[in-house]
Each structure stands twice: as C-alpha cells, then as structure tokens.
Amino acid sequence: NSINGTGGNVTSIINVNNKNGTKMDNAYWNGEMMFYGNGNTAFTPLAGSLDVAGHEMTHGVVQNTAGLEYQGQSGAINESMADIFGSLMDRDDWQIGDDITKTTYIPSGALRDLSDPHNGRTSLSQNGYQPKTMSEYYTGTDDNGGVHINSGIVNYAYYLIANTIGKDKAEKIYYRALTTYLTSQSQFIDLRKAVIKSAEDLYGNVSTETFP
C-alpha cells in the first residue's frame, strides 16, 4: 500500500544534477522521494533501470518498517534489502543496474551482482567489487562503516536461499523478516534469526524453506 504503507504518493524526480551543475552519476532516496541523475562516467540515465528504481523505493519501505539505521551492519542490511527487492522487481537475473552501468566503469555491465558480489573483480579497490563472506568483511569507517560494501555479504546469503527455495518463497520470507522482526539496530545475526523465524512462520519449523 505504497512506500509508507498508508497509500502515500510515490514521487520520482528525474534529470537531477549535482549542486554544482555537473551531471549526477547516482540515484537516491532522501526520506521523502526518489531522485535520478542522468549519469556521467559510470552510468546512463538511472531512471532507465527498473531494479535501481526498486532499490530506491525499498529504502522508503525500510524507513517505514524496520527503520534500519544507516551505519555499520544495520546500514548494510538496509542496502541489502534495497538490492534484494530491487532485484525481485526485475527478477530475470540477480544483477542490479545492468541496464544503466557502463562497461568502461564496471566490465560486467552491472553495478552489483547478488549471485557473485565480487562482480568479476578481485579487490575492493576495483569498481563493483563487494565482499562475499564474513572472511572478507570490511572493518573500516568509509561508506558509513561499509553499508554499500558489506551488503554484498547479506546479498549473497539471500541468493543462496532464493536459489535453493525459489524467489517466490524467498521474497515472502524476507519481507516478513523486514516488516515483523528487524529493528533499527539489527545486526547480521539478527537478520539470520529473523529470516529463520519468518520461514518457520510461513512454512513450518522443519520445512525445507526454514533449513534449505
């Protein structure tokens, strides 16, 4: 029932430039509406991507449900939820931004890949690379403690589940986890527990969906 759950307007602003007038290589949710730049060195117009639009709208849904704080692990879960539901709105693949990412910026032609967070790259210094498992977890302070970086770990965990039980069931589980169990300061372990509990609620304690 809209982004806020109460039938609110869904407002998107396109052709957005940076404050200094240069072309914007980004799209974002500002707490009230979505803004889409026309791209520059990395992207073509970002409004041309369904999964990017889904990503930004999901930030609004997160704000109006779990309210995940945009810092550290809770922020990485926030970013991952936006990727997960963005990919579910354009569900033919596991990529984000594959319609608008320039191969001169990321050779794979996608901004992120839930099935392979490394995205064809080999290190964090390369555009498009994300950690895949906790052994690669970023511990620095950049990017609000790695919200866009460590979201790759959560994305990959979702991919493993959805690839096993199917997207139709996985999306129900993750939406219930987001709207029923997660809170503003939830960490990765809390997401794991929320996903398991949501699967139990929907499919039973000893189901394949709960323990794929």
Active-site annotation, residues: 56, 148
C-alpha Rg value of the chain to the nearest Å: 17
Lookup: tokens for 30: 């500002």
Q: What are the distances in angstroms from CA 122 to CA 3, 101, 116, 132?
A: 36, 19, 11, 11
126 alpha carbon, distance to own chain's centre: 19
Question: Which one, of 98, 78, 77, 71, lies nearest residue 87 by Cα?
Answer: 98
Question: Which one, of 210, 166, 204, lies nearest residue 192 by Cα?
Answer: 210
Distance CA 107, CA 95 (A): 13
Lookup: tokens for 160: 């493993």
- Per-position DSSP letters for 75-117, written without gaps between them: HHHHHHHHHHHHHHHTTTSSEESTTTB-TTTSTTS-SEETT-T
Q: What are the distances in angstroms from CA 78 to CA 23, 60, 85, 157, 177?
A: 26, 10, 11, 14, 12
What number of other Cβ atoms are within 10 A of residue 92's Cβ? 9
